[in-house]
A and B are shown apart, each in its own frame.
Chain A
Amino acid sequence: MSQNPDLQNTLKQVRRDIVRMVHAVNSGHPGGSLGCAEFFTVLYGEILDYRAANFEMDGKDEDLFFLSNGHISPVWYSVLARSGFFPVKELATFRKLNSRLQGHPTTHEGLPGVRVASGSLGQGLSVAIGAALAKKLNGDNHLVYTLHGDGELQEGQIWEAAMYASANKVDNLISTVDCNGRQIDGDVSDVLDLGDLGAKWKAFGWEVLETKGNDMNAVSKTLNHAKTLTGKGKPIIILMHTEMGHGVDFMMGSHEWHGVAPNDAQLADALAQNEETLGDY
């Protein structure tokens, strides 16, 4: 499915959107956004069941997605717009005054597609668990998805939530960790080593999957496999190995592009590496 030329085209356009958005306001987080472009493209392109045109906060009878590491808002905004949640041209308002596209995602300005604010890290898993519990109470068989940064797992609340979800068999939840190995101050292994992450989640009672993250086939296959594991008494975590900045050669493999925007020449270079496919906003 992810050989689907439409998704390949979306991916390239999403990368263009990301670098253009952060360049335009000389701020934002391109590195992590680019690293997760394949994930978002596949998630909204072929995994989630959602109603984009008529967004409802309650999300009954549709799949829900929560971005816990809210700083990679550019990739989410791009994919939401390209999926029909709001006009693509609105991407031009990112981080500007009076915009619905705040620096970090929020419900406050009423942006369709966003169901909780995120940015202060470690909170999204708990919110997703609550939404998953509400689905169970409502007899709604749709699933809840989340994305987290690997550095974000240093937040204690993640582990409170992890403990709760397995103890209470929240098995309609598929979480993904963007394991790019980087955080603001450097490599995650240097800042605060996470140790054996798979063993940690397993010890917390989760079903653990791993995948390459910059390969849409692999992401698609893993997410579809994860879906088959739902409803079996365990929450599911996917450790998704990505490269920060993927798709723009000079941004790849370094934490330097975590929260830095490209200058004019760098933007031109990045755009030259990703052709315009669906039309720039």
Chain B
Amino acid sequence: MTTYTVQNVKDTRSGFGAGLLELGKQNPDVVALCADLTGSLKMDAFRDAFPDRFFQMGIGEANMMGVAAGLTIGGKIPFTGTFANFSTGRVYDQIRQSIAYSDKNVKICASHAGLTLGEDGATHQILEDIGMMKMLPGMVVINPCDFNQTKAATLAIAAHHGPVYLRFGRPKVANFTPENQKFEIGKAVMLSEGTDVTIIATGHLVWKSLEAAQLLAAEGISAEIINIHTIKPLDEEAILRSLAKTRCVVTAEEHMMNGGLGDAIAQLLARKAPAPLEMVAVNDTFGESGTSEELLAKYGLDTPNIVDAARRVLSRKD
């Protein structure tokens, strides 16, 4: 199995901020909008470098989505920034009509997604955002796993024409993917090859899955680890190729089971290659206040939960 070195520990939102700043230098059409969370979204460097292309929207997310849609008319590439909760649920209809249905080239960039937002609690811990966004026709949904991948994704989505939902988070986590990596939208990343079970992970749970692979290896179980950063469009080919080898799958994500990555993969398996599947995801409940590590443990999204899921799915294999 492939082992990875933690280069440093960084928040994915800082990867977004770094990518946005670089985009600002590369492309004069890139503009950024933020609803009173500039520091939290790490958009301050862009704001300071390109004040004419930064729009402080105040606490008005619905207006922000509409203004972003309008900025595309005239050739701008707007990046909106706020928490994932306010980037999706609060403005679903604005995104649906003014952005997705109108095919506007808006990049909806959402921080503090999932439980790892931590102490602020369930009002802010959205776990349904991937589901909402992936249901919208034409919407690309991306959930990168670390600082480097988030930065690379931020750069890549500017070059894609059409609406994109880019989801990242608050806590500092292992940064282990290559610096200046090539990011291909819709392309799975093979992190570690294995033969017994395929673990497909997205976002913060990718590193946890690599940790799980180590523990499983100690038990003599060979896990293949695939990083799906793009949930829509889903790299079906990569998943089916791995499944042909291992014949069982575990999915891992910091999202509700309904509507998430596991849900998408369950559909794929049911349609094309039925096989045992276990999902590591939040099961129809809201979160609560706590540290991110405490919350991942309590809601069953930690490394041991992935190991358990792998054991369960292996026991169901023919």
**Residues of chain A at the chain B interface (Cβ within 8 Å):** 57-60, 64, 106-108, 115-120, 122-135, 137-138, 140, 156-157, 160-161, 163-164, 167-168
**Residue from the list A128, A156, A167, A168 in contact with B62, Cβ < 8 A:** A156
| Chain A residue at minimal CB-CB distance from B53 | A137
CB distance from B250 to the nearest CB of A (A): 38
Q: Given A108-B101, A127-B66, A164 and B74 touching (CB < 8 A)? A: no
B316 → chain A closest CB, angstroms: 44
Neighbouring B residues of A107 by C-beta, 8 Å:
101-103
- Interface residues in B85-113 (C-beta closer than 8 Å to A): 93-94, 96-98, 101-104
* Nearest CB in chain A to that of B33: its residue: A130
Smallest CB-CB separation from B96: which chain A residue? A120
B interface: dominant SS:
helix
Do B60 and A160 have beta carbons less than 8 Å apart? yes
Cβ of A101 to closest chain B Cβ, rounded Å: 16
A124 proximity list for chain B (CB < 8 A)? 66
Please determine whether A137 and B63 come into contact, CB atoms closer than 8 angstroms. Answer: no
Distance in angstroms between the alpha carbons of A107 and B69 in the assembled complex: 12
Inter-subunit contact A133/B93 (CB<8 Å): no
Measured between beta carbons, the chain B residues less than 8 angstroms from A168 are 55
A-B contact pairs, 25 of them (CB 8 A): A58-B75, A60-B75, A106-B102, A108-B101, A115-B102, A123-B93, A124-B66, A127-B66, A127-B69, A128-B70, A130-B70, A130-B72, A130-B78, A132-B70, A134-B71, A137-B52, A137-B74, A156-B62, A157-B62, A161-B60, A161-B66, A161-B67, A163-B60, A164-B57, A164-B60
Q: Which residues of B contact A132 (CB under 8 A)?
A: 70
Whether A131 contacts B102 by the Cβ 8 Å rule is no
Let me know if A130 and B69 touch, CB within 8 A. yes
Per-residue 0/1 for B40-58: is the Cβ within 8 Å of any A Cβ (1 yes, 0 no)? 0000000000001101011
Contact (Cβ within 8 A) A131 B101: no
A160 to B60 CA separation, bound complex (whole angstroms): 6
Is B31 positioned at the interface, with any CB of A under 8 Å from its CB?
yes
Query: For residue A128, which residues in chain B have a CB less than 8 angstroms away from its CB?
Result: 70
The reply to whether A130 and B67 contact each other, CB–CB distance below 8 Å, is yes
Pairs of residues from A and B, 4 with the lowest C-beta to C-beta distance, nearest first: A130-B70, A126-B66, A134-B74, A160-B60
Please determine whether B101 and A106 come into contact, CB atoms closer than 8 angstroms: yes
| CB pair A126 B70 closer than 8 Å | yes
Q: Is the CB of A131 within 8 A of B71?
A: yes
Q: What separation, in Å, do the CA atoms of A107 and B74 have in the docked complex?
A: 15
A57-B73, A120-B93, A126-B98 given; 17 more Cβ-contact pairs under 8 Å: A58-B75, A60-B74, A64-B73, A106-B101, A108-B102, A119-B97, A123-B97, A124-B66, A125-B66, A126-B62, A126-B67, A127-B70, A130-B68, A131-B70, A134-B75, A135-B74, A164-B60
Q: Are A117 and B73 in contact (CB under 8 A)?
A: no
Closest B residue to A60 by beta carbon equals: B74
**What is the minimal beta-carbon distance from B79 to any residue of chain A, in angstroms?**
13
Judge whether A116 and B98 touch: CB under 8 Å.
yes
Does B74 contact A58, Cβ atoms closer than 8 Å? yes
| In contact, B74 and A59 (Cβ under 8 angstroms) | yes
Say whether B225 faces chain A, with CB atoms less than 8 Å apart. no
Q: B52 near A116 (CB under 8 angstroms)?
A: no
Contacts of B94 in A (CB 8 A): 123, 126, 157
- A164–B73 CB distance below 8 A: no
Verify A127–B62 contact, CB threshold 8 A: no
Residues of A within 8 Å of B31, CB to CB, are: 137
> Which residue of chain A has the shortest Cβ distance to B29 in the bound complex?
A137
Tell whether B65 is near chain A: CB-to-CB under 8 Å: yes
Q: Give the docked Cα–Cα distance between A117 and B102 (Å).
A: 6
* Complex Cα gap A195–B55 (Å): 31
A244 to chain B, nearest CB (A): 24
Task: Say whether, besides A119-B97, A137-B76, A157 and B70 are in contact (CB < 8 Å).
Answer: no
User: Is A115 touching B73 in the complex (CB atoms < 8 A)?
Assistant: yes
Chain B proximity of A261: nearest CB distance (Å): 24
Minimum Cβ distance to chain A for residue B255 (Å): 26
A167, B57: Cα distance in complex, Å: 10
**Contact call A117/B63, Cβ cutoff below 8 A:** no
Residues of B within 8 A of A125 (CB): 66
B97 with A117: CB separation less than 8 A: yes
Most buried by B among A107, A117, A135, A167: A117
- Smallest Cβ-Cβ distance to A129: which chain B residue: B67
Tell which of B55, B63, B72, B101 has the most Cβ of chain A within 10 Å.
B63
CB-defined contacts of B104 to chain A, threshold 8 Å: 116
**A129→B76 CA distance, assembly (Å):** 13
Give the CA-CA distance A108 to B96 in the complex, in Å.
12
Minimum CB–CB distance from B103 to chain A (whole Å) comes to: 6
Contacts of B53 in A (CB 8 A): 137
- Across the interface, which residues of A come within 8 angstroms of B74, CB to CB? 58-60, 131, 134-135, 137-138, 140
The residue that A133 contacts in the complex, of B55, B62, B65, B98, with Cβ under 8 A, is B55
**Among candidates B63, B73, B76, residue contacting A157 with C-beta atoms closer than 8 Å:** B63
Q: Which of A118, A130, A132, A140 has most chain B Cβ within 10 Å?
A: A130
Name B67's contact: one of A106, A122, A133 (CB within 8 Å). A133
A164 CB, min distance to chain B CBs, angstroms: 6
Judging by beta carbons under 8 Å apart, are B97 and A130 in contact? no
**Closest-CB distance, B95 to chain A (whole angstroms):** 10
Enumerate chain B residues within 8 angstroms of A140, measured Cβ to Cβ: 74
